[in-house]
Each structure stands twice: as C-alpha cells, then as structure tokens.
C-alpha cells in the first residue's frame, strides 16, 4: 500500500507550499513509502478530478493540496494530517494499521535524492510542468 500525496507544484500560495513540504518531510523522515502526485502537471487531469471528487465525498468542499490518500482511500487534508501527527496517530490516519510510528522505523521511503528534489521543488514552487 502506497501513501499518495496530491500536491500543487506551481502554487503561488506560500502557506500551501509550506504545508506540502511539511507533509512530505514528515513522511520521508518516518520512512513511510509515498508517491507524490502533482495535480498541476499536464496529463494529470484525471488524478486532479479524482482528488476533488473524493474530497467532496468526504465533506471537504474546497479541496486544496496537500491531500493524502492510501492508494485510492482518502485519508484527509493537511489539517487532518497535522492533527494525527500531533496525537501520534499517523498510522491509523494513513490507514496503515494501529499503533505509533517509530521515528527511524522499518518503513520504506523513496530514494532520498528524489525525495530531496521533490521537497526542493515544492519549496520553490517549481513543477515538472514548468520544465517541459
């Protein structure tokens, strides 16, 4: 099961970029396997529509990134993620089972170079769509 984080790589909103970076940083530091889906990239229209539809089904009328899923199962938005993190409830929030996540556990994460590049791109607001 892969955690999917839907982000906006070209967001002009500093707060959204900061929230996206924080979610990715926490997942990476906890060695949780995740996939980043930039809904602003060309060809990601279906993913963007899927994210919006699922969020609305879960009473999130204004689905701004970051949004977190376990595969296709909606977990929540940034506020939900942050709340679960503060309460040491990320595993249940991410639908990875119960219990606490140990910092430095046995989870798997993306290649650290790739993760660092994603974090850097989110921080600067650079998107693959802009590079094309």
Strand order in the sheet with 3-7: 34-38, 3-7, 67-70, 73-77
**Residue 5 confidence (pLDDT) above 60:** yes
- Greater confidence, 12 or 23? 23
Q: Decide: helix, strand or coil at residue 28.
A: helix
DSSP strand E in the chain: where? Answer: 3-7, 34-38, 67-70, 73-77
Phi, psi of 93 (to 5 degrees): -60, -45
- Greater confidence, 11 or 82? 82
Name the band, by pLDDT with cuts 50, 70 and 90, for residue 100: low
Name the band, by pLDDT with cuts 50, 70 and 90, for residue 114: low
DSSP, res 70: E
Q: What is the per-residue pLDDT for 98?
A: 61
Q: What is the per-residue pLDDT for 11?
A: 85
Q: Decide: helix, strand or coil at residue 81.
A: helix
Domain 3-97 has CATH 3.40.50.360: no
Q: Span 8-18, mean pLDDT?
A: 93
Give the list of residues 6+ apart from residue 48 with CB closer than 8 angstroms, or none: 6, 39
User: Where exactly are the structural domains of the chain?
Assistant: 3-97
**Residue 119 confidence (pLDDT) above 90:** no
Name the band, by pLDDT with cuts 50, 70 and 90, for residue 74: very high
């Amino acid at each position: 099961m892969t955690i999917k984080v839907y982000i906006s790589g070209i967001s002009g909103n500093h707060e959204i970029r900061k929230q996206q970076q924080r979610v990715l940083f926490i997942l990476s530091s906890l060695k949780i396997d995740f996939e980043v889906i930039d809904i602003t990239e060309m060809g990601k229209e279906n993913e963007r529509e899927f994210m919006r539809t699922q969020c609305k089904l879960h009473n999130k009328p204004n689905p701004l990134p970051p949004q977190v899923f376990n595969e296709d199962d909606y977990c929540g938005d940034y506020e939900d993620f942050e709340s679960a993190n503060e309460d040491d409830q990320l595993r249940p929030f991410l639908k990875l089972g119960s219990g606490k996540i140990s910092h430095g556990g046995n989870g798997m994460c993306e290649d650290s170079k790739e993760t660092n590049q994603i974090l850097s791109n989110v921080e600067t607001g650079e998107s693959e769509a802009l590079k094309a």
